Amino acid sequence: MSLNPLLAGIRVLDLSRLLPGPFATLYLAQLGAEVIKIEEPNGGDYARLTPEMFEVVNGGKKSVTLDLRKAEDVAAFKELVKSADVVIESFRPDVMGKLGCDYETLRAINPKLVFASLTGYGHTGPYRNRPGHDMNYRGYAGELSQTGAAGDAPSAGNFQVADLAGGALTCVVGILAAVIGARASGQGSFVDVAMMDGTLALQVLTLAGMRSTGKPAPRGGDILSGATPNYRIYETADGKHVACGALEYKFFANVCQMVGRPDLLKLPFAVGPKGEPLRQGLAELFKSKTRDEWEALLADGDSCVSAILDMDEVLANPQVQARGIVQQQNGKPVFANPIQFSHARTLNGASPKLGEHNQEILGR
């Protein structure tokens, strides 16, 4: 049995900053790639201004300092490109060209190079040069219009859907596909990932609904966004909440049996006013006990009803601990890679100091 990381031997030059790009290369580093952060000498990645954020997305990487506005540092970067498999950057389109480090220039140095550009809107289209952040990409992609309770304003939440899922993870898929292709054909690739595109592509059920009705469901009006009484969030007696995910009849029947309310099965599983009697009945039911009492009664009973936990509770959760997804780094929690392999291991290293690996990699 080999316990080598699966991406051992892959070298990644990471010019990205803040959250989306560094989160993408965090996955690559955890899977065994050598990820070298290319940072400006004066301050480096802007995320270093918030050390806790920097540390949770830059573990296991190396750091060198180069100022790509200086000819000698551009030359040093191009020397690194000769031995690199991947370059990833998150500047606006045309910035790398102005620095003399665009894909066409770098592929002349290394034809097998995979050059990934992770931007808000991509390298084509009328929005290509617009600035933006997660909320902007989600808004343009229509995701925010679907997020929140019926009748309420859109809700951003504290999960950066566009940055992390639409952007970073989509970029990882593109990079890995291009690396496999380069190894098979000898030809690298320019990987153009727009966070707006990636966020839009996640909304398959919203699109399916539009294909059926010709228009999107209103916020909170879809079967999986709280419109049906048996797939909904309910408040409990202590002001906390449970997720009732008893979408299928068999699970809801189990809930009704365990709580001694077979009468609820007679009420319609309906969207809109017809479902109001069941919604009201379940709201009153769940308000009769605390969240933890419901968890103790229902969670192990094949019910699809579970507690909604705060993050401090999540970190102490026995399922989380059993899976090993939370690790300690310098006495503080970090996330391990969530993928577990039968014949390979993932890595969890400390985040680098600015320029920590200059001597090792640049010889200076």
Residues marked active site are found at 133, 163
Closest CA to 225 of 206, 242, 197: 206
- Single-letter amino acid, residue 225: S
CA atoms of 338 and 91, how far apart (whole Å): 28
CA atoms of 243 and 174, how far apart (whole Å): 34
- Single-letter amino acid, residue 63: S
Contact by Cβ (8 Å): 338, 23: no
Task: Using CB atoms within 10 Å of the CB of residue 301, give its burial: 0 to 12 exposed, 13 to 18 middle, 19+ buried.
Answer: middle
CA atoms of 199 and 193, how far apart (whole Å): 11
Sequence-ordered list of residues with C-beta below 8 angstroms from that of 107, at least 6 positions apart, any chain: 113, 115, 188
CA atoms of 73 and 315, how far apart (whole Å): 43
CA atoms of 114 and 311, how far apart (whole Å): 37
Contact by Cβ (8 Å): 5, 32: yes
Number of H helices and E strands in the chain, helices first, is 14, 11
Task: Using CB atoms within 10 Å of the CB of residue 312, give its burial: 0 to 12 exposed, 13 to 18 middle, 19+ buried.
Answer: exposed
Question: At residue 8, what are phi and psi to the nearest 5 degrees?
Answer: -55, 135
Pairing of strands 11-14, 34-39: parallel
**Residue owning tokens 């940055």:** 163
